[in-house]
Amino acid sequence: MLKEAVEALDVQAEATYVDTTFGRGGHAKRILEKLSPAGQLIVFDKDPQAIAVAQAMSEPRMQIRHQGFEALNQLPHHSVAGVLMDLGVSSPQIDNPERGFSFRQDGPLDMRMDTSRGQSVHEWLGVASTDQIAQVIRDYGEERFANGIAKAIVAQRDAGQLPSTTLAMAELVASVVKTREAGQNPATRTFQAFRIFINRELEELAQALDASLQVLQPRGRLVVISFHSLEDRMVKQFIAKNAKEVYDRRAPFASPAKLALRDLGRQRPSAEEVSANPRSRSAILRVAERLPMQEAP
């Protein structure tokens, strides 16, 4: 939803915008096309490969930050006219087997978005308890076979045979998950859970959403593309919480809390986009506008 997301930002030529997940620069390039020499784009990404792509652009209007988007709160308050969040894993990350995100090709069981720091999935599975593994798979993958998968992983580990590659892990999960939605690999939910957990994706999203209220100028736009229900639920609830009047039941005659956002709705990808890029079929684009300060908390 590249075109729709950039249009939703309502880019003003001399303003400052933030792309919290640079990826390979698709959204960033579209935004830069709309900016004048006085405009500025701040891009974040944890992936060293993405940062290398950004640096190779040699774009003077672009400020590059090798950080996750939880660092959005480091920007000055009310300093940007729009924040774009394109959540989840990028196609280049999925397509590179060495990154370990996909079970379609064999590669190391890694899944770190920032390969320069932190534990890989394989390293974490080497020390996590059965209960910890099950909770991650259940909470972040919404997988009903979480307990069985966790027990199978720990049994393999205790036997000195903990899977270290994506295909080996996918085969282990498939041996436990006997039923699955048509067309979905049995390991889909488990791999999603491992990726979200090891990269702290939901924790970072919560922090970034809160920070967006601080950094957005009045009438600034928040544009978020999510690809699974956990992310979209968080974004939907965040916008709803800040776009409706809330009364304190302990003080029924007091004025409600001031509104911070105006909900501008959601979009789904067109049939043409889904046909050209099947990965987009689960995408949901949500847009909100920062209200003027006198209307906001």
Q: Are residues 208 and 289 in the same domain?
A: yes
Sign of CA dihedral 23, 26, 27, 33: positive
Q: Are residues 158 and 218 in the same domain?
A: no
Which residue, of 149, 180, 198, is where some domain finishes? 198
- At 295 the pLDDT is 46
Q: Are residues 193 and 206 in the same domain?
A: no
Distances (CA, A) of 15 to 3, 6, 134, 254, 296: 19, 14, 46, 38, 21
C-alpha span between 22 and 63 (Å, rounded): 11
Helices 2-9 and 26-34, packing angle to 10 deg: 40
Q: Are residues 42 and 120 in the same domain?
A: no
Q: Are residues 46 and 193 in the same domain?
A: no
In a domain, 229, yes or no: yes
For the chain, the domain total comes to 2
Identify the CA nearest to 211 among candidates 22, 68, 114: 68
Q: Are residues 127 and 77 in the same domain?
A: no
Helix (H) or strand (E) holding 276: helix 271-276
Q: What is the pLDDT of residues 123-176, one digit of tens each?
A: 999 999 999 999 999 999 999 999 999 999 999 999 999 999 999 999 999 999
Q: Are residues 192 and 207 in the same domain?
A: no
In a domain, 75, yes or no: yes
Distances (CA, A) of 205 to 200, 211, 235, 297: 9, 10, 9, 21
Which residue, of 170, 198, 226, is where some domain finishes? 198
The answer to whether residue 74 scores a pLDDT higher than 50 is yes
In a domain, 213, yes or no: yes
In a domain, 108, yes or no: no
Q: Are residues 210 and 286 in the same domain?
A: yes
Q: Are residues 136 and 63 in the same domain?
A: no
Q: Are residues 144 and 207 in the same domain?
A: no
Calculate the average pLDDT of the chain: 91
DSSP 148-194: HHHHHHHHHHHTT----BHHHHHHHHHHH-----TT--TTHHHHHHH
Q: What is the pLDDT of residues 231-252, one digit of tens each?
A: 999 999 999 999 986 555 565 5
Identify the CA nearest to 197 among candidates 138, 129, 272: 138
In a domain, 103, yes or no: no
Q: Are residues 290 and 167 in the same domain?
A: no
The answer to whether residue 206 scores a pLDDT higher than 80 is yes
- At 297 the pLDDT is 42
In a domain, 106, yes or no: no
In a domain, 105, yes or no: no
- pTM of the entire structure? 0.88
Q: Are residues 16 and 147 in the same domain?
A: no
Which residue, of 151, 169, 198, is where some domain finishes? 198
The answer to whether residue 3 scores a pLDDT higher than 50 is yes
**What residues are paired with 63 via a beta bridge?**
42
Q: Which domain holds residue 147?
A: 115-198
CATH of the domain at 209: 3.40.50.150
CATH of the domain at 145: 1.10.150.170
Q: What is the pLDDT of residues 279-293, one digit of tens each?
A: 778 899 999 999 986
C-alpha span between 167 and 145 (Å, rounded): 19
In a domain, 291, yes or no: yes
